[in-house]
Amino acid sequence: MSDAAANQLPALTYRPVTERDGAALVDFLTAEDWPFHYHLRPPLALVREWIDGGHFLEPQSLHLWVLQGAQRIGLVGLLDLEDIDDGEPELGLRITAPARGRGVGTAAVRFLCGRAFDRWPQLERIFAKTRADHIAMRHVLVRCGFAKEMHARRAWHRDGGARFDSLGYGLLRADWERSVVTPVPWNDAP
Ligand SMILES: CC(C)(COP(=O)(O)OP(=O)(O)OC[C@H]1O[C@@H](n2cnc3c(N)ncnc32)[C@H](O)[C@@H]1OP(=O)(O)O)[C@@H](O)C(=O)NCCC(=O)NCCS
């Protein structure tokens, strides 16, 4: 295969996580390192706690598997669904290491946002938080129409205590529908 072909976005499908996916979630979340999450590798007991507590399922969240053929190559989610009416549900995204760098993360975020805005007419905005040094995630968010709205210095800490700047991004329904990014009024007041 040529480099160009290897770098092409693969054909993707999406499937909601169901209550039968416990073992698959454990495999997916504990099989590799996640260097930009709080836990480099979430402990098994914690993952089981998430699963048993309904973290990956409605009504708490909408989580979709990102599939290439039958293979699970990613997990994209909208968390805090209780905020649908009057708040800002938060985006979550994990793509397995071998599948990165081919546009999968960008495609998955676009798909999830489209599905969420279609399904919940009252959903006004989607929030996303990431570390300042997570350049790939920042690219994904900007590609998908999110605007940077927050830069909180040293507000992100990870397991072990290291601190980083924390960034917040927002995607407005009105912007999504018109394919624009409304500027953030950074300089409105001292
Ligand atoms: C962040 C993540 C979702 C990106 O997914 P991906 O499928 O690799 O991203 P894409 O291929 O769609 O690339 C998106 C953009 O990031 C850029 N990018 C990808 N990897 C990069 C890297 N290592 N360094 C800098 N830029 C990078 C791409 O060039 C592209 O930018 P462009 O469209 O402006 O050219 C993926 O790396 C991941 O799942 N990481 C682990 C989990 C994680 O950190 N999740 C986010 C927590 S906040």
- 19-41 tens-digit pLDDT: 999 999 999 999 999 999 999 99
Exposure string of 110-148, with b = 16+ CB inside 10 Å and e = fewer, is: bbbbebbbeebeebbbbbbbbbbebeebbebbeebbbbb
Nearest-atom number in ligand 1 for the CA of 128 is 48
Q: Which residues line ligand 1 (CB under 6 A)?
A: 34, 36, 93-95, 100-106, 130, 134-137, 139-140, 143
Nearest-atom number in ligand 1 for the CA of 74 is 39
Calculated CA dihedral for residues 177, 12, 129, 190, nearest 10 degrees: -30
| DSSP label of 99 | G
What pLDDT was estimated at residue 190? 84
173: pLDDT confidence band, cut at 50, 70 and 90? very high
Q: What does the radius of gyration of the chain's CA atoms come to, in whole angstroms?
A: 17
Cα→Cα distances 32→41, 69, 132, 164, Å: 7, 21, 22, 22
Q: pTM, whole model, 2 decimals?
A: 0.95
| DSSP label of 182 | P
Residue to substitute in 37, 91, 93 for testing ligand 1 pocket (most ligand atoms within 8 angstroms of CB)? 93
What pLDDT was estimated at residue 19? 98
Residue 131: CB partners within 8 Å, gap ≥ 6?
36, 137, 156, 164, 165, 166, 167
pLDDT in tens, 46-105: 999 999 999 999 999 999 999 999 999 999 999 999 999 999 999 999 999 999 999 999
Determine phi and psi for 168, rounding to 5 degrees: -120, 135
* Nearest one of 128, 132, 126 to 166, comparing CA atoms: 132
Nearest-atom number in ligand 1 for the CA of 129 is 48
